[in-house]
Structure formats: C-alpha cells, structure tokens
Amino acid sequence: MLNSYEYKKIDESYFSFTMPNGLQVFYIPRPNYKKSFAVFSTDFGGIDFKTDLMTLPPGIAHFLEHKLFENPNGNVEDDFSKLGISVNAFTTHNNTSYYISCTSNFYEGLELLLDFVQTPYFTDQNVKKEQGIIAQEIEMYRDDANWVGYLNLLNGLYPNHPINKDIAGAKDDILQVDVDMLNETFGQYYNPLNMALFVIGDIDIERLYEFVAENQQKKKFEEAPKYQRNFKQDEFIPNEKKVSIDMEISRNILNFGFKDKQVEEAGKELFEKEITTLLGLETLVGKSSKLYNDLYENRIIDDSFSIEYTTETGYGHTIFSCETEDPMKTYSILKERFQEAVNQGLDEEDFIVNKRKIQGITLMELNSLENVVLGFMGEHFRGGRFFDKNEIIEKITFEKVEKRIKEHLDFKMSALSVVNNKAR
C-alpha cells in the first residue's frame, strides 16, 4: 500500500509504504539532484541499555553500530568503496542510523545497506578488536571539553535516567560487551517492526517499492520485540546541583540547563512543545532580544554563548553554554537577569519577528538533503511529521510561548556544570 502526502505551500511531498514484515519505508523526492541519501534506522539508542527486563553495559547500542559493519569477508565499507558510495552511521540517545550517500549505483548501495544492517556477524575476535577502536573513540571525546561539560550537566540534571551516560559508554563498560549481548540486542531492536528506511533523491518510487519488498522477503526475523523503552521520568529535582572538572583548555566552560517537568508528550504535541520552547528561548535571549544584546555589550557573554533545547518522550532540557573567565560570577549574573526577564514577560513584537524568522529558516533548511532526511527520521520515531513544522509554527501564539518559558525556566529544575581550565 503506497501512501502519498503533499505539502503544497512548501513544495514538498513524501511517500510511505509498509512491508509485510513491518518495515516502514519513506521516500522524499528531490528531482534533478545528483545525490541521494538512504538512512536505515532503528528505534534503539544510547539510553536503551536499561529496560524493565535487563541491564546491559552502557554503550551497547553504539558498540552494535560498529559491529554491524563487519561481515565474514571483513569490513562492509569495502563493498561500498567499490561502488564509490560513502557509508556511515551514528548513535544518538534514542536511535541508531546507518546511511549512504551516493551519486550513482543507488540500488547496489541500498541492497548493501539493507543487508549489512540486517545480517550480524559477531565473533569473539572481532568483538575484541572493536574494543580497542571504540576505546580510542571514547578517549577522543574525553579530550573534548565541550562534550565533557555537556555530559556532566546531564549527570546533574538526571541522576536516575540512562541519558546521563555517554552514548559510547565508558572504557570499562565496553570491555564487558560480548557476542551474546550483541546477539540479544540485535534480535530485539533490529526487528523490522522497530525500524524504518528513509530515502531522499531522484528515485523511481515504484521501483523502490519492489526493490525493498524483494530484499525483505529473503530474510527471516524473530517475533516482535519484548523489551519496552524505559520512559520513566527522572523525578529528581536538581535544584542548581553543580558538577565540575578540571581540564587543560584555554578558558572555563559554563553549562547550565533546565529540565522539563512534563515529559509525556509524543507526536505532534511533542513537536509543538519543541517549537514553542525554541521560539520562546529565541524571543527571550536570541540575537535580536534586548537581553542578549545587553549581556553581550556589557561583556557578560561573548560569541561563545549558545542555546540548545532537546526533547523526546521521557526527557527534555534546555542547555545554555558559554566560555567565561569566572563561571560562578557569570552564572549568578545570568541567573539574576534571566529571572528578571522571565518575570517581566516576553516582548510581543520580538515574538512576531522571531516567528517570521523561524518560518523562513525552516524553509531554508529544506535545501540540505541531509537535514531533511535526518529531520524526517527523528520526527518519525518521535511520532510526528517533519513537514508539519511550518504549519505548527503558524499556530503558536504569544501567550503559549510566554507561559511555556515561565514554566520551563525554573531554577529549581536547573543544574550547572563547570569545566575549569587547569593552570598550564
């Protein structure tokens, strides 16, 4: 059954179909493009090492991502190289995705992609080899002060939620990984019912359908997965909990974040919450706000200042980050100024301007095939539809945004993380 959806206003459309084995496929047309992307994803990520039924070492999803690239002949990257196709993968807190980008040989590449992700090959020896490689990857990130500061903040915000662990795990965690664990998680989470394929480019939809159908028919899978993701909310109230560490860097890094109190939303509601929050943050302290410009001109913040809001069902947080000479002093000024601005309420004119800005930027971001296909992927697993974004923005009112900001930026729900530059 082939379904098609059209979004006339933004000149976008997509098609979807479901295979008999449960695998969902989405295709977004990009006529006249040389490049095409296929992303094969599972709803399994860094947070999924702990379920009601089992506990595995943190980093298991990422380990599995690495290991699926291996086949009895060696590394599958070789087969892609032969076709001149680049292949890569990444693991987020919630998902694992494998993707190819190519300008020719699309179906050969797609077949390899579907096959290597769905055909595990784990041996004691190749697991051991991967431990060495992943250990180096972990070390590399451990030298990245921004990443360390971010992880420490998540630890402060969520002491009881698996999001507080590094997606790749720690060196000790990955040494525990063995073939059985990989087989167990593969069987559970790489079930077609838990996966989806996303394609963008200049592709014939009928042929795509037949191709995927034929490929999937050849494979057998276990019955539906039995583990459920742990959606339980972390009830901990961080109340400005502080985590700090010393590293050899040029300046101190301050991160502070606010944890969402309500995290049950899914689908369109979750998408709406995300956009409302982003619009609110932009209005409060974006580049065209009074607050941002005051802070910048008075040299409390500089161009290292950044804002990020992330949400999924089960968690959600805003993180402010900046480099500073005196993190605690900067924090106390920012706290005071934020509270003041939130109490006073947002500027309605700024809100209108920012709404227009976000509408324009949403359109501009449709230029990038990568952005579109990955955005579409993320939204699919959250239960929403990526192309609804413009319509959602249009309906957001000033009152909603103001209410959301007042409720969200509550310092009782905040934690902070400082990376101190150790004297060299």
Partner 1 sequence: MNAKFEKTELAPGVNLYLYPTDKYKTVSIRAFLYTDLEDETSKTAILPEILKKGTKDYPTPRELSKELAKLYGTRMGAGVTKRGETLLADFRMEMVSPKYLEDDSYVQKALKIFKDVIFDPALDDNKFNKTYVEIEKQNLKNRIAAVVNDKQKFAFMKAIENSCPDEAYRISKYGSVEELDKVNEANLYQHYEKIVNNNPMDFYVVGNFDKDKLKPLLTETFKINRQQVTSIKKPINSKAQPLNEIVHDMEVKQGRLVMVMKTPVTMNNNSYPALLMYNGILGGFTHSKLFQNVREKASLAYYAGSNIETLKGMVFLFAGIDKETYKETLDIMNQQLEDIKAGKISEKEMEYTLAGLKNSLSETIDEVGGQIGLQVDGGLVGRRWEIEELLSELKNVKKEDVVEVANSLEVDTIFFLRPKEEQ
Footprint on this chain of partner 1 (rule: CB under 8 A): 9-11, 32-35, 74-75, 77-78, 81-86, 101-104, 129, 132-134, 136-137, 139-140, 142-146, 247-251, 287-290, 293, 296-297, 299, 302-304, 323, 350, 353-354, 356-361, 363-364, 366-367, 369, 422
Which C-beta is closer to partner 1: that of 100 or that of 270?
100
Most distant CA pair in the chain, distance: 65
- Least separation in angstroms between CB 232 and partner 1: 33
Which C-beta is closer to partner 1: that of 137 or that of 184?
137
Which C-beta is closer to partner 1: that of 322 or that of 415?
322
CA-to-CA dists, residue 312 to 135, 185, 237, 316, angstroms: 28, 22, 19, 6
- Least separation in angstroms between CB 76 and partner 1: 10
Which C-beta is closer to partner 1: that of 36 or that of 216?
36
- Least separation in angstroms between CB 55 and partner 1: 26
Enter the tokens of residue 121: 């090959």
Which C-beta is closer to partner 1: that of 232 or that of 422?
422
Enter the tokens of residue 391: 């319509």
Q: Is 336 a catalytic residue?
A: no
Which C-beta is closer to partner 1: that of 334 or that of 413?
334
- Least separation in angstroms between CB 262 and partner 1: 29
- Least separation in angstroms between CB 207 and partner 1: 21
- Least separation in angstroms between CB 69 and partner 1: 9
- Least separation in angstroms between CB 254 and partner 1: 14
Does the CA dihedral 178-179-180-182 come out positive or negative? positive
Given 65, 265, 274, 282, the catalytic residue: 65
Which C-beta is closer to partner 1: that of 263 or that of 358?
358
Catalytic positions are 65
